[in-house]
Structure 1
Amino acid sequence: MSFKIAIIGAGSVGFTKKLFTDILCVPEFKDIEFALTDLSEHNLQMIKAILDKIVESNKLPTKVTATTDRREAISGARYIISCVRVGGLEAYADDIHIPLKYGIDQCVGDTICAGGILYGQRNIPVILDFCKDIRELAEPGAKFLNYANPMAMNTWAAIEYGKVDTVGLCHGVQHGAEQIAEVLGAKSLSELDYICSGINHQTWFVDLKLNGRKIGKDELVAAFEAHSVFSQQEKLRIDVLKRFGVYSTESNGHLSEYLPWYRKRPEEITKWIDMSDWIHGETGGYLRHSTETRNWFETEFPQFLASAEKPIDPAKRSNEHASHILEALETGRVYRGHFNVKNNGVITNLPSDAIIESPGFVDRFGINMVSGVTIPEACAATCMASINVQRMSVHAAVTGDIDLLKLAVLHDPLVGAVSTPEEVWQMVDEMVVAQARWLPQYAHAVPAAKERLANSKVKTKEWAGAARRNVRSIEELRAEKAALKQAV
Structure 2
Amino acid sequence: MSFKIAIIGAGSVGFTKKLFTDILCVPEFRDVEFALTDLSERNLQKIKSILDRVVEFNRLPTRVTATTDRRAALEGARYVISCVRVGGLEAYADDIRIPLKYGIDQCVGDTICAGGILYGQRNIPVILDFCKDILEVAEPGAKFLNYANPMAMNTWAAIEYGKVDTVGLCHGVQHGADQIAEVLGAKSRTELDYICSGINHQTWFIDLRLNGRKIGKDELVAAFEAHPVYSQQEKLRIDVLKRFGVYSTESNGHLSEYLPWYRKRPDEITRWIDMSDWIHGETGGYLRYSTETRNWFETEFPQFLESAARPIDPAKRSNEHASHILEALETNRVYRGHFNVKNNGIIANLPQDAIVESPGFVDRFGINMVAGITLPEGCAATCISSINVQRMSVHAAISGDIDLLKLAVLHDPLVGAVSTPEEVWQMVDEMVVAQARWLPQYADAVPAAKERLSKSRVKTREWAGAARRDVRSIEELRAEKTALKQAV
Please tell me whether residue 8 in structure 1 is matched to residue 11 in structure 2: no
CA deviation profile, 1:444-480 (whole Å, cap 9, x unmatched): 0000000000000000001000001100000000001
Please tell me whether residue 420 in structure 1 is matched to residue 458 in structure 2: no
Q: TM-score, normalised by structure 1?
A: 1.00
Q: Which residue of 1 aligns with 2:429?
A: 429
Aligned residues: 488
Q: Which residue of 1 aligns with 2:371?
A: 371
Distance in 2, Cα, partners of 1:171 & 1:487: 29
Q: Which residue of 1 aligns with 2:388?
A: 388
Please tell me whether residue 87 in structure 1 is matched to residue 87 in structure 2: yes
Distance in 1, Cα, partners of 2:453 & 2:27: 58
Q: Which one-letter code corresponds to 1:72 in the other structure?
A: A
Distance in 2, Cα, partners of 1:422 & 1:367: 45
Distance in 2, Cα, partners of 1:137 & 1:396: 28
Q: Which residue of 1 aligns with 2:475?
A: 475
Q: Which residue of 2 aligns with 1:397?
A: 397
2:66 aligned counterpart, secondary structure: strand
Distance in 2, Cα, partners of 1:471 & 1:58: 37
Question: Unpaired segments of 5 or more residues in structure 2?
Answer: none
1:254 aligned counterpart, secondary structure: helix
Q: Which one-letter code corresponds to 2:395 in the other structure?
A: H
Distance in 1, Cα, partners of 2:250 & 2:135: 33
Distance in 2, Cα, partners of 1:367 & 1:487: 44
Distance in 2, Cα, partners of 1:329 & 1:64: 22
Q: Which residue of 1 aligns with 2:66?
A: 66
Distance in 1, Cα, partners of 2:224 & 2:299: 39
Shift of 1:309: 0.6
1:61 aligned counterpart, secondary structure: coil
Distance in 2, Cα, partners of 1:244 & 1:297: 41
Q: Which one-letter code corresponds to 1:3 in the other structure?
A: F
Distance in 2, Cα, partners of 1:484 & 1:363: 42
Distance in 2, Cα, partners of 1:14 & 1:5: 17
2:444 aligned counterpart, secondary structure: helix
Q: Which residue of 2 aligns with 1:245?
A: 245
1:207 aligned counterpart, secondary structure: strand
Q: Which residue of 2 aligns with 1:278?
A: 278
Distance in 2, Cα, partners of 1:425 & 1:224: 41
Shift of 1:54: 0.4
Q: Which one-letter code corresponds to 1:308 in the other structure?
A: A
Distance in 2, Cα, partners of 1:14 & 1:42: 16
Q: TM-score, normalised by structure 2?
A: 1.00
Distance in 1, Cα, partners of 2:272 & 2:288: 20
Q: Which residue of 1 aligns with 2:173?
A: 173
Q: Which residue of 1 aligns with 2:102?
A: 102
Distance in 2, Cα, partners of 1:51 & 1:12: 12
Distance in 2, Cα, partners of 1:198 & 1:166: 18
Alignment of 1:314-325 (within 5 A): 314-325=314-325
Q: Which residue of 2 aligns with 1:287?
A: 287
CA deviation profile, 1:137-160 (whole Å, cap 9, x unmatched): 000000000000000000000000
Distance in 2, Cα, partners of 1:313 & 1:423: 53
Shift of 1:484: 1.1
Distance in 2, Cα, partners of 1:174 & 1:317: 14
Shift of 1:487: 1.3
Please tell me whether residue 304 in structure 1 is matched to residue 304 in structure 2: yes
Please tell me whether residue 183 in structure 1 is matched to residue 183 in structure 2: yes
2:247 aligned counterpart, secondary structure: coil
CA deviation profile, 1:15-39 (whole Å, cap 9, x unmatched): 0000000000000000000000000
Q: Which residue of 1 aligns with 2:236?
A: 236
Shift of 1:434: 0.1
Q: Which one-letter code corresponds to 1:170 in the other structure?
A: C
Distance in 1, Cα, partners of 2:21 & 2:361: 23
2:484 aligned counterpart, secondary structure: helix
Distance in 1, Cα, partners of 2:230 & 2:81: 33
Shift of 1:427: 0.1
CA deviation profile, 1:191-222 (whole Å, cap 9, x unmatched): 00011000000000000000000000000000
Question: Unpaired segments of 5 or more residues in structure 1?
Answer: none
Distance in 1, Cα, partners of 2:43 & 2:225: 43
Shift of 1:346: 0.4
Q: Which one-letter code corresponds to 1:357 in the other structure?
A: E
Shift of 1:377: 0.2
Q: Which residue of 2 aligns with 1:350?
A: 350
Q: Which residue of 1 aligns with 2:42?
A: 42
Alignment of 1:252-267 (within 5 A): 252-267=252-267
1:179 aligned counterpart, secondary structure: helix
1:185 aligned counterpart, secondary structure: coil
Q: Which residue of 2 aligns with 1:211?
A: 211
Distance in 2, Cα, partners of 1:480 & 1:54: 28
Q: Which residue of 1 aligns with 2:486?
A: 486
Q: Which one-letter code corresponds to 2:19 in the other structure?
A: L
CA deviation profile, 1:348-381 (whole Å, cap 9, x unmatched): 0001100000000000000000001001000000
Distance in 2, Cα, partners of 1:101 & 1:323: 42
Shift of 1:317: 0.2
Q: Which residue of 2 aligns with 1:55?
A: 55
Q: Which residue of 2 aligns with 1:223?
A: 223
Distance in 1, Cα, partners of 2:402 & 2:94: 18
Distance in 2, Cα, partners of 1:462 & 1:19: 40
| Runs of 4+ in structure 1 over 3 Å off | none
Distance in 2, Cα, partners of 1:14 & 1:255: 24
2:340 aligned counterpart, secondary structure: strand
Alignment of 1:447-462 (within 5 A): 447-462=447-462
Distance in 1, Cα, partners of 2:242 & 2:393: 31
Q: Which residue of 2 aligns with 1:143?
A: 143
Q: Percent identity?
A: 90
Q: Which one-letter code corresponds to 2:368 in the other structure?
A: N
What is the root-mean-square deviation in Å for CA atoms of aligned residues?
A: 0.3
